[in-house]
Chains A and B, each alone.
Chain A
Amino acid sequence: MTSVDSQSSGPAGWDYSPAPERTRVPIKDEYGLFIDGAFRAPKSRRRFETINPATEEVLSRVSEAGPADVDAAVEAAKAAGPGWARLKPAERAKFLFRLARRIQERSRELAVLETMDGGKPIKESRDVALPLVAQHFFYHAGWADKLSYAFPGRTPKPVGVCGQIIPWNFPLLMAAWKLAPALACGNTCVLKPAETTSLTALHLAEILQEIELPPGVVNIVTGAGETGAAIVDHPDVKKVAFTGSTEVGKHLARSVAGTGKKLTLELGGKSPNIVFADAAIDQAVEGIVSSIWFNQGHVCCAGSRLFVQESIADEVIDKLAHRMRSLRVGDPLDKNTDVGAINSSTQLKTIERYIDAGGDEGAILHEVNDQPLPEKGFWCRPCFFTGVQPSHVIAREEIFGPVLSVMTFRTPEEALSRANNTPYGLAAGVWTNTGSKIFEIARKLDAGVVWCNTYNKFDASSPFGGFKESGFGREGGLQGLRAYVRL
C-alpha cells in the first residue's frame, strides 16, 4: 500500500488493511452428545476431529453417536414428548422467544464459531446467517399458540419424535429451520449436524440448557452417515426431515418407504438465473454475484446456471469479470472477506473435478480473480465458464462450489425450455424490467422459489423447498408447519 503524497494528484493505490474479527470463542477440547438435557460421553467411545477449513487446524474432538447413543437420544425425546405437547402453547412460545433472544445475545460468538468451523466469511455469518437464525425462532414462537389459525377447522396435534439431519453449508440456520417449527408444533427432536460442522449446534445445546428447555425436548447427536441412518431407521422416530444431497435423499426415501414415517427432503439444485436484455444490467450483475459466489457457492439454491439474452451477453460477461476481480478471497475471519474457504478437502476435490470436466468438454474457464490464496486450508477461486452447452456435465450436475456456467438464449421460450431442462427444481431467478414478463416467466418455471430482480433472499415467513429431484415439503412460513402436525 502506498500512502498519498501530499503534493501529488496522480493515482494512488489504496487497499484495505487486515481487519480480523477479534472475538474469542471458548472452544472445548472435546464435546459430548447432548441427550436428555446434558452432555454425555458417547457410548460408542468414538470421537472424531473437527477442523478449521481455512487453516486445517484441529478445533476440537466431537463425539460420534453410535446406535446405542441414538437409542438413548430417541428415548429421551420420546419420554419428553407428552410433557412438551401438553404444555400450554403460550409457554412453548416463551421458550422459543427466550431461545431467540439468547441467540441474539450470543450472536457474535456463534458467528465466529460458524466461520471457524465451516469456512464461510464472518461477514455472512454475522450479517446473514445469525440474524436469520434468530428470526426463525422468533417467527415460530409466534405460531406456537396460533396453530388453530394455521389450520382452520382442524385440530393440529404433534407428530412425535422428529429425526432431523442437516448439512454443512448453513449449519446453525439449518438447525433453526428444523427445530423451530418442530418445537412450535409441540414435537420433540433428535438433530444431527453434519460431521464437518458440529460446533455451533453444540453451542446451541448450551443455550438450550441456559434457557432451561425441558430435558429431552431437543437432543443433539453428532456423527456421520451411520449416525444419520440410525436416526432415520429408529422405529420411534415418526418424522424425518433431511437437507442435503439428492443421492442421500433418495436413499432416505427408500428406507422410510412403508414405515408410516413422515418425510420432507430439501435436496440439491442446479438453479437457472435468467437475465433478459431489458434488465437493469448492473443490478443483475450484482444478483449473479450473490447467486453463485455467496457462501463459496455452497448453497443448494445457488444460481449456478446463468442464461443471458444474446444481445447483452458480452456486456454482462465483461461486467461480471470486472466485478469478480473485486471479490476478496481469503481468511474467513477477516471482516472484508467476500469468499471464504471451501468447507472440506473432499468438497474441494469434487469442485476441482468439475472444473477439470468443464475444460475437458470444451467450455472456456474464466478465472479472472487472481488474489493470492493462503497456503494452508481449502481454497477455490470464484470462476465462471462460457461456451457451455446444456449437455455439459457442468451445466447438469450440482457442483456446490463457486463455479458458474454461463449460457445464452435468444427468445423467452428458449430461456424457459433450457431453464427447465434439469432434474432439479429448487430455485430460479428472473431479471427484467418488464413486469408482465416477470409473471409470464415465473409462472412457467419449475422451481420452488423464484426470485425476480433479486436472488438469495430468505425470510422465515417465506416457504422454501423444491420440485422434482430437489425434494418435497416446505420449510418456513405457514406451509412449513404442515410437516410437523397431524391433522
Chain B
Amino acid sequence: MPEPVQREHPTSQKDMSADVALIGNPNAGKTTVFNALTGLRQKVGNYPGVTVEKKSGRLNGSNLPIRIHDLPGMYSLVPSSIDEQIAADIITGRTSNSDVRLIVVVADASNLSRNLYLVTQAVELGRPVLLALNMLDAARAKGIEIDPAALAKELNVSVVAIVANKGKGIPELRSKISEMVLQQHAQRRQSGIQLDNELKATLLPTREWLAQHSALSESATWYEAIRLLSTDCAVDSWAAGENGANTQVSELRNLIERARETLTARNQTWQSLETRLRYAWIDRICRKSVREIRVEEVSLSEKADRVLTHRIFGPAVFVLIFATIFQTIFAWAEVPMNAIEQFVGWTSTHLATLLPDGIIQDLLINGAIAGVGAILVFLPQIMFLFFFLSLLEATGYMARAAFIMDRFMRGAGLSGRAVIPLLSSFACAVPGIMATRTIRSTRERIITIMIAPLMSCSARLPVYALMIGAFVPATTILGIFSLPGLTLLSMYFLGIVAAIGSAQALKRFAGAHEKPTAFVMELPPYRRPSLRWTLLQVWERAKVFVTDAGKIILAMSIVLWFLASYPKPADENVSSSQAIKQTYAGQLGHIIEPVIQPLGFDWKMGIGLITSFAAREVLVSTLATIYNVEGADENSVTLRDKLKNERDPDTGQPVYTPLVAVSLMVFFVLACQCMSTVAIVKRETNSWRWPLIMIGYMTALAYVGSLIVYQGGTFLGMG
C-alpha cells in the first residue's frame, strides 16, 4: 500500500484538519465512540448497517483540528456489500480525496477474535492504527479476561481500553488520537500471517513479479501475493489500476494460475487461503492475550431469545409488537393532536383580528397557516413512530425480526436483510432505501428498493388519520379492537401484500440471472437502549420533518392558495364554490376529473392528487387550503368537519362517503407520490430506469386498486 500522499498544494488547502477514520464491526459500539469523541448527535443502532452514510465531526477537547470520519460498520476490508465497499475505499486510499492520517478501529472485547479479523487487515494497510478495545466489562461478565498490553505487543499497535457507553477511557482515547496524529509518520508493519516454506516456494514467482512491478515493501508483496491467490477477482484491481500494462497483468494472471494449480495438485485448496491464515494468526494472538477464567454461562440475551425467537412465541411477539405500536400511535397521539389543532385555530382567529382584511391576511391565514397547521397536527404521530422504530433498532430486536421473517421474505425473492430496510420504510422510504446498501445481492437490493415505497410511510399517516378520523366510526369490535385502529392496520397490511406481489413480479426481470447470495447475519446481544439518544433521534427526525418537509409544504401551500384564489371572478356576488371552480386549480382539477371519477374522486380531490405527487402529506394541506379559500369565514371549523359537511352542489349528497374515503386511502397506499423517494432511487440505482418503472407500476397499481374498491363497493351498495 502506498504511503499517505502529501497533497500537492498544502498551502492552498482551505481545510487544514487531519482526517481520522473510525472503523469497526457492526455492533462494536463504533457509533457510541463517534458520538463521545465528537459530541455530534448520531443514530445509535444495533443491527448491521445502521451507519449507512459517512458521517464526520471534529474531535472534541483537542487543540488540533482533527476530523473524525465515522465509516459504515464492516466485518472485513474485502467488501461484500456496497456499504463495506465505501468504507474500504476510503481507508485503503482508493478514493482520491481521502488522506487518512490515522485509522481507529473499535473492537468489541466480548467478541474479540472475530473483531480482530478487521483489525489485522487494517494493520496491513501501512497506516498508523489505534485499537479502541471496547466493552471490556461485557467480556469480563462473560468470563473472559483480556490483557490489553499483551494484545498491543502481539499486534504491534497502540491499544486503549474503553467502555464507550459509560464514557470510560474516552479522554485517554482522545489524547492518544491527538498524539498519534502529531507523530504523523506512517509505521510499516509486518503482517502476522505466517507462511510455511512450501507455501512460500509456491508464491515466490508471484511475489517477485510484484516486487519488480510495484513499490510495495517486501512484507507487503507477500501479503498481496496471498490476497491475489485467495480471491477470484483480486487480480482485476491490478488490471484496472495504473499499476501496469495489460500484457504484464496477464503475466501476473498466469503466475497466480500456476500457483493455484500447484496447490490443487498438492490436494490443498487455494480458496479463502488468506482468511484461513489470518484466523490462524488471530488464534495465536488470542492465546497470548486472552484468558477464559470460567466457563461461559447462558447470557441474559440468550435467555431472552428463548422467548423472542421461540417457534411459537417468537412470531407472536413480533406481531404483537407491531400491532401495539400502530394502536399506540393512534391512541397516545390524540391529546397532543387536539392541542395543536386548537393552537392553530387560535392563531388564525387572532391574526384575523390583528391584520386588516386583504390579500396579506388571506395569504397568511388561508395559505400559510392553514397548510402548515394541517400538517403540524400529525407531528405527534410521526414522533411516536420514530420513537418505537429507534427503540427496536437500538435494542437489537431488528436482527431478530430479520431472523424470524427470513423464510417468509424468501418467498418474495428477498432475505431477512430486507426486513430492516422495509420496516424502516414504515417511517420513511428514503432512509429505508438508503439502508438497502447492506444487502449483498444487487438483485435483492433492487427488488427491496422497488417495493420499499409500498410500506405505509409516516407521510401517509396524516392522510389515513384525516380520512379515518372523519369517516370511520369509533366503535369497538370484540370489545378490545377499535374500528379506526383496525382500519389503519389494514391499510398497512394492504401495502405489505402489494409489496409481496410486486416483489414476485419484479423477481422475474430484475437480474434474474444472478445467483442468490448467502444470508449471513449476526444476532447481536440485546442492549439497553439509551433513552436520551432515542429521544434525540426522535427530535432530529421531527426537526427534519418540520423544516425540510415544512419548507416544501409551505411553498406548495402558497402556490396552491394562489392557484385556488386566482383568477378572481369578475362578478363579486358569485358563490364561493362557484368562484373556486373558475380558478386555475379548479380548471386543472376539472381536466383530470373524468379520469378519476371512476375512483369516486371529484375535482377537488383531483387537485389534491396532483399536488400530492410532490409529497403525500401535501394532500391534507391542499384540502385545507381549498376548503379554507372556499369558506374563508369559518376558520374555526376543523378540516375534518369540513370534509364531512361537503355537499355536491348539484345533488346535495355528501361528496365524501366512507367508501370514497377508503378508495382515497387505497390510492395513497399504492401510489408513488414522493419526490424525495424518486430522487433517492435515482441516486441509489444510478439510473433513471428504476425510478421511472417505480412511478409507472405504482401509479397503475393505485389506479386499479382504487377502481376495484370504489366500483366494487358501489356495486355492493356501500356507496
Is B one of A's binding partners? no
> Which A residues are closer than 8 A to B by beta carbons?
none
